[in-house]
Amino acid sequence: MNQQTGPKAPDRVETTADFLLNHAAARPVSFHMPGHKGSQLYRRYGYGDFLDSFMDCDITEIPGADNLFQTEGILARTQERYAKLYEVSRSYMLINGTSAGIIAAILASVKEGGTLLMARNCHKSVFNALTLGNIRPAYMYPEMLEEYGILGQVTPEEVARSLKENPAADAVILPSPNYYGICSDIRSIAEVVHKQGKILIVDQAHGAHLKWLSQREHSGVGPECAEDAGADIVINSIHKTLASFTQSAVLNLNSDRVDRYILEDKLQAVQSTSPSYILMASLDISADLLECSGRELMRQWNETLDYFYEEVRTIPGLQVISGLGELDRSKINLDTSQLGITAAQLEECLMKRRIFSELTTGSILMLMTGIGNRRQDFERLLTALKEICSEINRAQDGSFQNCKGGESSIEAAGQNSTGKATGGRMPCKKELHPIPKKKERVPLEAAAGRICASSIIPYPPGIPLICPGEALEQEEIDYITELRMAGEKVIGVNDENEVTVGA
């Protein structure tokens, strides 16, 4: 940003606004959150005025502007629109993301000191709710897809096993889709959970679009959304894949197993008392887009995905993961194992071409598509992938010239150039010790065998690698050290490289 008229201060450091404006000016292609992918979507569909009057729309609860925590006017109407769109009894706007919705849903469903059955790969907000509600976790373990080094579905059988072992649990929560787009069979899980009289909460942060993108009429024969499958509470990050601004989300209440008034009380407790009208208006615009142009937008999204999946198969050496059961096709998972490079290296090559992806894990690069991606984004991506792969091929004397592009074979996936299985570490089944009451901070390298007192969370994806009550193993310490040396964020390790363990 350089709008001052006077001479520029010689040692002026880059501000956040500088960074954002420079980034936007470089015309990047976004395959990461948020789903709107920039201003073009709003402008194309007639919401340019809102963007142009951005700051003038940043108001508080003046007369006529309604109140998020006691809606009766314009905000009530937005919530009613969502309830109608998702076909649920009530929808609530969230301005602190799905994170806030998850915390409120758990606190409304599990009594203080009670038990929550939770998938071990839940987002950190679930772990925060445990602390806030003095709630005991009982873990359900998703399938480990060893070949890819990532976690898969939580099966109905695993939910049934966990319910049998923990009959006093009040509720069950799991993410579906997970970060890679892998969906669990929510319909069968809902049956199992409801048979025992418990509440099912689904963290659908990554699947706000499923209700529409998966519809057969749009050619996508994909997973069912959790609302249609019978979950009691479903929380959707509208900002991740649909058209609202970052941090805005919607919680859907889909049954009377949960007391609405308790839920509303928890929602007001975990959200800002100054909810942003800009965020709420963007939720309203996103609902408007779905109502008025949803069919067209979903058709275009599916067509561009068809085009991409068809074309990417022709690139030698590059594989696309498929065949993992119910997969949300809007998440593109590229497997670099046959190229002999890591996903992080591919990510870097793409970034040099101003194409930004969402997540890497070992040999898997995940590109998050959204309602705002246009065909030209996919064209630029394909051109870049073709260039990168042919450069690698030349550098390696054509060693993978004969490897066909296409769908990743299970055997090949997850192998790096040395043939060693890669993949970011995923949480594994461990003995759960009582959560330490007395805590101390110790250097990470001296923490082997100690019981963790505060979660250690690589970000992204924000899934705790080690939870309170689990012992730290040397292998995990080595992995965390590696991540930090590579410049990755690991929440729970402080600036002095210390972690919190039981004293």
Ligand X SMILES: Cc1ncc(COP(=O)(O)O)c(C=O)c1O
What's the distance, CA 237 to chain centroid? Answer: 8
Given a contact cutoff of 8 angstroms between Cβ atoms, the answer to whether 251 and 105 are in contact is yes
Which is nearer to ligand X, 461 or 468 (by Cβ)?
461
Stretch that binds ligand X, among 203-211, 271-279, 284-292, 484-492 (CB under 6 A): 203-211
CA atoms of 447 and 450, how far apart (whole Å): 5
CA atoms of 330 and 368, how far apart (whole Å): 7
Helices vs. strands in the chain: H and E counts, helices first: 16, 20
Residue from the set 41, 95, 205, 305 that interacts with ligand X by CB under 6 A: 205
The 445-474 site mask, x for binding ligand X (CB under 6 A), equals ----------------xx------------
Which is nearer to ligand X, 237 or 337 (by Cβ)?
237
Which is nearer to ligand X, 105 or 493 (by Cβ)?
105
Residue from the set 137, 142, 175, 469 that interacts with ligand X by CB under 6 A: 175
Residue 203 touches ligand X, criterion: CB under 6 A:
yes
Q: How far is the CB of 460 from ligand X (least distance, A)?
A: 7
CA atoms of 318 and 149, how far apart (whole Å): 17
C-alpha angle 149-171-81 in degrees, rounded to nearest 5: 90
**Per-residue b/e over 429-464, b at no fewer than 16 CB within 10 Å?**
eeebeebbeeeeeeebeebeebbbbbbbbbebbbbb
Which is nearer to ligand X, 129 or 453 (by Cβ)?
129
Which is nearer to ligand X, 97 or 294 (by Cβ)?
97
At a CB cut-off of 8 Å and minimum separation 6, what does 115 contact? 135, 136, 137, 138, 166, 168, 169, 170
Which is nearer to ligand X, 201 or 477 (by Cβ)?
201
Cβ-closest position to ligand X: 97
The 127-166 site mask, x for binding ligand X (CB under 6 A), equals ----------------------------------------
For ligand X, the binding residues in 220-239 under the rule CB under 6 A are 237
For ligand X, the binding residues in 238-267 under the rule CB under 6 A are 249
Stretch that binds ligand X, among 97-105, 144-152, 402-410, 412-420 (CB under 6 A): 97-105
Which is nearer to ligand X, 119 or 350 (by Cβ)?
119
What's the full length of the chain, in residues? 503
Given a contact cutoff of 8 angstroms between Cβ atoms, the answer to whether 156 and 188 are in contact is yes
Residue 51 tokens read as: 């963007």
- Helix, strand, coil percentages (3-state) for the chain, rounded to 5, are 40, 15, 45
Which is nearer to ligand X, 226 or 249 (by Cβ)?
249
The secondary structure of 352-399 as a DSSP string is: HTTEE-SEEETTEEEEE--TT--HHHHHHHHHHHHHHHHHHHHHTTTT
Residue 276 touches ligand X, criterion: CB under 6 A:
no
Residue from the set 31, 86, 179, 212 that interacts with ligand X by CB under 6 A: 179
Residue from the set 28, 34, 35, 97 that interacts with ligand X by CB under 6 A: 97
For 187, other C-beta atoms within 10 Å of its C-beta total 14
Stretch that binds ligand X, among 58-66, 96-104, 219-227, 476-484 (CB under 6 A): 96-104
Interface contacts to ligand X, rule CB under 6 A = 97-99, 123, 125, 175, 179, 203, 205-206, 237, 249, 461-462
